[in-house]
Structure 1
Amino acid sequence: MGNTNTELEQLMSDVDNIDQGNFDDEEETTQVNDQEEQTVQQPEQTSEEQEQDVDEDMQNVINNKQKETKKQPKPAKVDTNQQQVQPNQHPQGQDLVDAEGKVIAKAGAERRFYEEAQRLRRSQQHFTQNVLPQIKEQYNAMEQELNAYKQVVDGFKASDLSPQDIQSGFDFVRQWKKNPTEVVKFLLTNLQSSGINVDIEGMQPSINAEAIKQMLDAKLAPFVAEREARVQAQEQEQQVTNEYNSFVQKYPDSVVHDKTLAFMVRNDPSLTPELAYYKLKNFYLQKGLDFSVPLEVLAQQKPNETVPQGLPKAPTISENVVKTTRQPHVAGVNEGFKNIIREAMEESGLK
């Protein structure tokens, strides 16, 4: 029996060494001691019974130690005065409790949700206390400004004025601030030109009909000049067209030579279109050429042929040839000769 007790004590000592002396629960120690006393008081047993008792005692000790290791550590305590719990003040493996030890949130997901809710609550308080008042203040200012604009718009609508009238009023006030004297003159002049008597008793009128005429001339001068230029251009265009059509009707075989004739008239201002036509036709007769073929085409067919003095060479791409830039008034007629006629008329003063 003494050997049995010695072996039991040795096993318990080994278990204590493995658990590093953490078995300090008084209740469990008392239970083990009671078991030892019962073992001592029992009568001598056989070797098999003794071994069985030792195994049971060892199993009980091991079970008790496993229960102790599964116990949760003591939860951390927090001050109840701190309504907001900072996550970094408590390790994530612990429950969140108040000063009285009451669990607020268990470790793990529950604690994370609680701390996230606290963070959102702080954000909401900041928004309500700081951001929201500023937004309300800005909204009130914008609402006041909008009401002021509405009053102005309502005033415009009640005046029965068009947007152009309102803009004219703005321009009038702007000019009045810059030069009120000119504005007064402008108003009086317009009134007089409309047949309204602007004579005021005790005041001598300083604006007469001549002033009105000068004002109207100054205002209408750009429009008059533009109209005269447009009319003159139209008349000149019509005159050139008539001259060209008359020349083509009189000399229908000259159509294919319009570039050559234009080149001749441009290089010799003393030539008229008729003289240039006869001079070119005489050249064709002397050379026995076909007058229905343009000179530039003949020059390409006979590049070595010499052109007599007094007659210009056929125009080429490199020479200054009047080119067609407008649609002809007569079907199939090139516009280059018309330009020459126009220039000849301008040089002769026929405008």
Structure 2
Amino acid sequence: MKALSMNVLAAVARAPRADFSLETATIENPRDDEVLVRILGVGLCHTDLVARDQFIPIALPAILGHEGSGVVEQVGAGVTKVRPGDRVVMSFSSCGHCARCEERLPSYCQSFPVLNYSGRRADGTSGLSIGGEPVSANFFGQSSFASHALTFERNLVKIDDPEAPIELLGPLGCGFQTGAGGVMRSLACPAGSSLAVFGGGPVGLAAVMAAVVQGCATIILVEPIAERRALALDLGATHVIDPAAGDVVTAIRAIRPDGVEFAFETSGRVHVVESALASLGSHGLLGLVGVPPNPQDALAINLASAITYGHRIHGIIEGDSDLDTFIPELVALYKAGRFPIDRLIKTFPLSEINAAVAAQHRGEVVKAVLVP
């Protein structure tokens, strides 16, 4: 008979803006609708940090992490999608039956906040505890800053290719999926089009690579870190702009006098969003994915200008991804050398999560992946 629970190693957020602590937690066996995954790699995402810092008000202490990948160890009695031994990428939770889920737009699930941010299952339980006390878990339906995670069938994408480096694929579940999907699905940039990407972090550079896949003719990256600008050119950007060198809108219009057809903003900073909007040409489309530093941040729009030029703004969650089709598409692009995510990744042991956070904050690492 299997044990009812087991001990796992987890990185725990106990206070806003404080270091994570490595602790032993107890994880339950999967319920009928759950899957236990042994984590082989988990991306460190800005969203994990804003949750720790309470922009997302998940109760602390919490086990975060939402870009996990690994191997299925146990499945509940009602699970049919995967079985023990399957290699999987984990992504966000969705209900599967609301109007948006039925449209194959699960990232706009009407229950998305409750399912992904509450830190609890639907019945209010956690599934993880420390010292006998429940802790917030179930973050994005996984909480993968740990050696093992409980998740659900809808969160999982089975990776059939035995040669795909499963330990590096977790960020396809959020950051890389957001950047790539933003360009390939949300904006659906056609071949020959022009795109300006604001921010050269993992989401922005994934957008650059996706723009190359789409065949965009002009791909502009606006990014203050020189090494990231150089990397973007290597990945296929046609132009890069240092925002410290002068007015960004002027620089973009020197490249495209009529403005760009598409802009993709990843920083969430109001003044950058304003520059992105001002860089658009007639009937241009701006995609927003950046989490703002302040929940009250708002954008002022000149209504006459928006109407005159037909400018459009599209808020984007998870790149409008339909997990079971889009993540395998990205894996295939990676294997074909067209979406080289390994060039953005540096791995750290899970025990060095705080060093990874610091390195990513300093801009020394584009994407940290933690390996338990």
Q: Same fold (TM over 0.5)?
A: no
Normalized per residue, the structure richer in helix is 1
Higher alpha-carbon Rg: 1
**TM-score between both structures, scaled by the size of structure 1:** 0.16
Normalized per residue, the structure richer in strand is 2
Give the structure, 1 or 2, with the largest relative contact order (CA under 8 Å, sep 6 or more): 2
**TM-score between both structures, scaled by the size of structure 2:** 0.16
